[in-house]
Structure 1
Amino acid sequence: MRNLKRVLSLALASVMLIGMMVIGAGAADKTAADLTDMDKVTNKEAVSVMVDLGIIVGKPDGSYAPTEGVDRATMAKLITYVLMGDVDAAIFEGTSTDLTDIDTNWAEGYIKYCYANGIISGDGQGHFFPTQGVTVVQAAKMLLVALGYDANASKYQGNSMWSVNIMKDAQVAGLLNGVEGTANDTLTRDGAAQMIYNTLNAKTVTPKFQYDMGVQYLSEYVVDSTTLGYQTYGMVKVNPTVTGIEDGKAVLDPAIAGTNKLSISKTLTATPDMVGNVVTLYVKGTLNTDGTYKASSLISSSLVISATNVLGTSTDGTKVTGYEAGKTNDLTTNKTANKTYIAELDESVNYFENGTMLDNVAAANAAIKVGTVVELIDANGNGKAELVKLTNKSVKTVSGDVKTKTEDDVLMVSVPGVTTNYVEAKSVSGYEGLAKNDVVLTVEIGGVTYIEKANTVEGVVTGIKNNTYKVDGVYYGVSGLVVNGMEGYTANDFKNTYTFYLDNGNNIVKAVKVTEETVTKTAVVLDYGKITSSAIGASFVAQAQLLFEDGTVEVVEMSKFGGKTVVNADAGENQVNYDTVAANKGVFVDYSVDKDGKYELTLVDSAEPIATDKGITTNTAKFDGTNIANANTIFLVKKGTTYTAYKGIANVPSIAKADLKSGQVVSKDGVATYVYIVADKFTGDVAAAKYAYILNKDAYEVVSDGNNGLDYVYAAIVDGVKTTLTVDTTDYVKVNGLVTYVTTDGVVSEAVKPVTPATGLKSISGGVMVVGADETAYLYNDSTVFYAINEKTGDVETVTASDIAASETAKVAVVLADGTTNNTASVVFVITPAV
């Protein structure tokens, strides 16, 4: 073989070594799948190949421990295996060395082999330090010598630049590809596997020397025709494509390797993510003289996806027709106008759905719906997607307990609602840990049903917009994987809690109402009542009228107050008299609901009266002159006989000192969380006309108005800020663009009035702009806010005057500053018209 396949100073006949030098393919007892922490391994392909070859077997506990360091003794063993295969270290123990610290080490034989072949040299004073961690540069030197590089001629030792020389040659040889760490870092087990894998795939070299005046020098390295992996193990890399899965095994193209027709198709386990991808595996054999491969057996025990680049993933139902990088799709049939694509398709594209190849792009588009996982994959590294993978999952509910049994030594499993009776367990993946009523996503690929539990979000719907539902501040779409993902949701229910089950794109596939309240919440108790009877078997029912944080008022049955049962007569132990309870009105209570729907109330001890000698001013942090509020503070306001809820100090209307009668505040960490206010009226209940810019009259969010009715929220620019505008009815908003509006209690209470912008921005510079055909002049300054609005897309950008160019087609709307006498602009809208 090569000159390193010799052992110096061994008094052994070479014939004794022949049968010990190389393990046969599949000789290793373990595969990478047996490693318990393979999910934590970064260099999975390298570790898989090392395990398949028997070079590494993992730790005694079954793990690989990828982040642990490798000591110098272990590195010696690994290099011995790289060069000689699975060889007994005892045959090297008679080798003579000048190393004094290895005789009792478990790796003595391996160290002596590496020393005899110049792979290691010690420190020149008889020490190898076998238990010390091997550094990246030390490992690189050992592996370079294993490839045939001469340590002395290449100045890897006895030279002040030895570290630089090693790292440079290792980089050129490809030994450092995928290896993390600097030269002096301790090599990790993950990194060691990658370096050895790189070495096996590198071609060996033979040094060529010449002489100059009797002095030998290295003239060049002659690169051999084969890799070290081939020379030691007959290892040759094969890269077929997974075109499908049958019975959990990969269907490969090409299905054979080598001239002897070794069939590798349908022999190795595959997972759904492999379909359509190029994979790497290794076969063992010899090369023909013409360089073609003559295969003999399979080395790999598993498939590893070759380097691919997922250019983008979509789950919103966007079709793939016409993808161009950086372009927008204006195909109206796709309903994705103005959407920028995330990738560009290659000239030739393969489409797969659930592991099956589709005929063409039309078939792919027909299969795409909201919730379909669309992956755009660049498998050949040209920056374009030549593989489009679609995954359409079914939504199912586990209707009973999962059961297993054994029939004729075959494990069977039954997953009610997913499988039909019992099926072979190997045909179902992910059934472990499932329970009755679990909602799952399933997909069948190649005869195997893959199951995963659907993620969930639980909460109250607080807004509805364009068929999306806001839960806990996040909008969720409705999945197209089911006929009606919101079937379990009551329309416009803004009070009750639901569990929403989601597909892989966080679209709702199922809604289930939470029937039992288990969370303590806060409310204001407004009044009490009781129902009594003097008849035989008379009953007593205590009632409480509660004002909830959404502004709704409800009379509920009260079972306990302050942890004690409410009774009508004299109170005994753990009881409280109704008359005592009824004295606590207009105060905050924490409440919970028991399984019978009865309320248990407890006074909020931290609640304090608010300062009635102060008014409340919107957007003032100290809202009553004493307490601090912020955007999360909930205000519950009683005006006359009506109750209104507001969230945030910016949204509660101002209240004059004379109008604020009473109230309570609950604070946490110095900031008010709940405020209850009784007031005669708000300051300026009906506001003067204001300006807003409606961004999209057709898109709005439906929310509760706090009084069992609905409000409608539009994206708009209000008072120079991009925010929202709340209106009583959609009939009030009929146009996009600049409008004037009037509010009552902070809600638009009559139809908005359009403001016609002027056409043409004649000039803008030096603090003066000239607008429209009549060339009206306006002043602007540093306080003037400019908005650039794309009328077609609705995109809004805050700009400065210097960003705006004169335009005959631009539409300009100007809002004057309050009290201006010289046409000073407060807000300027510059609208690019739709074309």
Structure 2
Amino acid sequence: ENGLLEDVNTSFTSACPRQYAAQLIYNTIFAHTVTLRDGEYTNMNLLGTDKLETVGEKYMSMKKWVGTFEGNEDVCGLDTGLIRVYGTPDGKDVAKANADFKFSKLDLSYIGEEVSVLYKDATGGTANKPDKKDTIYGVYVTGETKVYNITKDDLQSQKDAGTVRFGDKNYDVAKIAKDDEYINYNYGAKKDTAAAAMTADQVADDMISKLKATSADTVKFICNDDGDIVKAYVVESKLARVTAVNSEKVSINNGVGTIKFEDNDIYDGVKKDDIVVVTTLYNTKATNSAAKSTVVKAATVEGKLTSFKGTSKVSIDGTSYDIAMLEGTDVDSDFENTFKDQIGETYTLYTIGGIVYAAKQTSEGTKNYAIVEDTNGSQTIDSGFDPLEVKILKADGSEGKFVVHKDSTSQGTTKLKTSDVKTGVLIKYSNVSDNKIKITEVQGSMALNKDTTVYVKDTKSFNNKVAASDAVVFVNKTNAYGKPGDFYAYTIRNLNDIKAKSGASVASILDDNKVVAAYVELTTKPSGSTADTVYGIVSKENGTVKDGDTTYTSYTVDVDTNTQKTVLIEGDSDTTLKEGYLVSFDEASDKVYSASDITIYLKNENTDYHKPSTMAAIDEYDEKGQIVSYWDKTNDIGDKAKLITKAVDDDVKIIYVSAEDDKAADNNGAIEYDGVKGTKNAYIVFEDNNSTKNVVAIFVDVDGNITK
């Protein structure tokens, strides 16, 4: 009769399961005490106007506060660790007030719902209302608030005034008063409040216009005591790309900015160029001190494009997906904004909640660029007995012969002419069948009027335009400009500087003002690079070697006693390097270099070849303090007043060599010069060969004389 057995569904003929024992204790705390009056037990006071104290109130000094969970310190701008519940003592029908108190275990997903707070008043606090001085026994969701959890995508077109519709049902919306908040975005980052009293129809219309969308953003509708929707809590997320990562911070594009690990929830292993989903709470700017962002790696779907409907639906391997939007190249240079002419190609879709937000074509020869190597000379396109046929080299390095489709265009809607297609022309195409392609773009070449570095590795630019990360460059290695030779395809970012002579033809195709495909005529193959600069000593001149039809002069460079690198320079009589030379180069994936790719610091003589990098006698190398002190003039050695001290790079490379034996040597612990010999024992290399910058490498001769 006093509610002790509420939600207790067990027999008491044996031991009581602990979940029901706990429920009994909970029910007892809230059970009103009884008294014997006129021969009967009653839980009402003498006047019959209210119930007697509960067991918790009488014997534990426990009190109850019932109200709406308004949010935590971040949502409500409270002191650290506080939450806010807007309510009354025991939920009584009296004036409501905000109760701010310490509690950390209530999840924000319950915002807007009715909760019950069990607490004990402390001396010096506010009586009959929980505050930060009180003992809080617990906060419990009562389940009395009706809520609807949906996504923006679930909202349907309105059928009746004053309602919102989802799940094929109409739900009534309440009217609101002036200054009432009716939409809350990302827990207080932004709010919509009524500038004046709004009718139910006005509130419903505004909610639909602002929230109905193809989107995975979540919407939580809160209902009043009458069951009418009175408020919406919306959590919005967006797709972005990681542009930089260090030990403390992550930089993310698409309006996010640079945020700290310690202040945000960022997944382990995040790295540059990851595509991520960012949800920023409490403030519209992720970089604001009040904001907190959750960053997770975006979910993906991979497979072949089987169909699409504009930019509203796409089917991958027969499974259809709704499209919220297609983020553009400002987020990632490889993102596509259309699926036109790409049926059958392989894609990666980036999704949030199963809805597509970006797409990237990943099939071989991404973006389907190619160079025309030859044609059959036909004057008709895909008609008659002699259609135009082209031999092309694709971006993936494969070759093929294809008939040109009749609907091909040279630029946009301009119909392709046979004269547009000739050797050395860049094309963009789509596959129509195994032996037919549709050309969608053509770019002819132009001859240089002077010697030009057409690709600059440091700026990643081809003909003064930045190259996309996967941009392809087609090279016609020829003995006579304007004539077909051997064609090659490279990822341009994997190459060193490309220097072309006057008269050589070049061309490029741009997408979003970035080079995505390029063409150049060269008399030698370009040299490739990887990310790291190699420092070492030339230990062997290997002579002439042949790779396919190309002849090279081969050298071996010792990086250390266990690591050797092969350097191939085109030609059978190259004399660029000699045993004992101290050198560096950006490592090429194919081991092929031009002479200009190799930096020579020191030959077999007492002469500096790459000033201001210099031979030196090292007085002290402080690894922990990251400084090196040395003399760069022989006559100064030993004079402390003439010491030069420089900062060294975090990743400085120390290369131990035997200058006398022309090979790498083991570290003998003697990085400082020999005071008895008084000779220069090392070679100091500055970043960008600029003495105002850090030291990035130090060659050390283990015998104390780097000049041998």
* Pairwise same-fold verdict (TM > 0.5): no
Q: Structure 1-normalised TM-score?
A: 0.33
| TM-score, normalisation: structure 2 | 0.38
Whose strand proportion is higher, 1 or 2? 2
